[in-house]
Structure 1
């Protein structure tokens, strides 16, 4: 049986957010595994996927070093970092990590101030390594609202994403990317957010499709522009 190690990260806490999906979804994936969506083609049969969840502080200085420690310990094949977009209506698949971060002194202040590089010696941006086209197709087939996002902003999410892709670029064969969840909203009629169960299903689809792409990569799975 082919074995895969997957790391799914999220953040510990966001101010004024009672239920944080980027904390809950990674934990659910670690505990539940890859329960297939209804109508799934079963391509992961015969594959042993171990998911390790990690919760990170919302901190420029602490988030990446903590994730890096887990990556060095687990040696993953796939890494999916996650965060929260307050005003999102669905799942946001992040295409690009930019070499910019908000230089605000207060790490919990998301106001845009002066911008400085995440890594002064790094390229201007990195593209995701996840098969976005196939993930979007899975979401569409199962009624999961989603969109492509041009970048993850200039706050801790983007900084983590950039450092993750910089690390990935130095690995022989690792896939990684970033997914932004909306607020948890269990109402049947709502403007923003999705039920937590649907967000967990989305996380499972991202991991499943990424593992499949790791096994058999194809250019048709990629969608960056």
Structure 2
């Protein structure tokens, strides 16, 4: 995985996002500590279905590639079997397994002093990518352990979408067999309580179990997704 590593197990990259939203008008969108990074770091070093998890908290200024490229470059020619980006989506009540990443950055608020307004994630790259994770199998598996989960058809156009697009674009560009995608997670209860919101939340312990379950499902369904209608509606 890293330069000089003697661990030859297949590995899974799990990324979380850094703090953001300090200029957001809605206080509920301001995260001094991003819970998705706490979850990624909690899983770092664990083994799921014979795959070693590398959990990373991404820190980047303008684009996620600043943080993701060094990880892939240091992998000694052994790309991850699975790459799952994590992010928080305030107001969503369930784990959202994202289907699509678009080549658009159109932020709700400035991040790092910059507010993109329709610029691409990568100039000249495809308009969109579909997740290469088995998204329906993942959603079904998470529900199977008693945690609410749905397939979502839009990762929005903010930083989370940029992370998902970067993971998929780099895998396609470099010819990696990596199956990649993104999970949006609900707010943890502590964040909802701290901002005095009546919005939905999910215990961090359940979110951690959901991500573990997603990893196991991705490994188990390496040849493709289950053939079932998603049966979810997004307006």
Structure 2 residue aligned with 1:38: none
Instruction: Report the RMSD for the aligned CA atoms in angstroms.
Output: 2.8
TM-score, length basis structure 1: 0.80
Tell me the equivalent position of 1:39: none
Q: In structure 1, how many angstroms separate the alpha carbons of the residues matched to 2:118 and 2:169? A: 19
1:212 and 2:217 correspond: no
The match for 1:198 among 200, 206, 210 is: 206
1:20 aligned to which of 16, 31, 34:
34
Q: Distance in 2 between matches of 1:221 and 1:168?
A: 24
Tell me the matched-pair count.
206
Q: Could you tell me which residue of structure 2 aligns to residue 155 of structure 1?
A: 158
TM-score, with structure 2 as normaliser: 0.77
Unaligned runs of 5+ in 2: 1-7, 22-29, 193-197
Cα distance, 1:149–1:50 mapped onto 2, change above 3 Å: same
Deviations 1:29-67 (Å, cap 9, x if unpaired)?
A: 114443xxxxxxxxx3xxx31111111126433x22211
Q: 2:168 aligns with which of 157, 165, 170?
A: 165
**Which protein, 1 or 2, shows the higher relative CO under an 8 Å CA cutoff with sep ≥ 6?**
1
Does the 8 Å contact 2:84/2:181 carry over to 1? yes
Name the SS of the counterpart of 1:162 in structure 2.
helix
| Equivalent residue number for residue 89 of structure 1 | 93
Q: Per-residue displacement from partner, 1:111-167 (whole Å, max 9, x unpaired)?
A: 7x7312222211111000111111111112111111222221111111121121111
The one-character-per-residue Cα deviations of 1:145-191 (angstroms, maximum 9, x if unpaired) are 1122222111111112112111111324111111111111279xx74
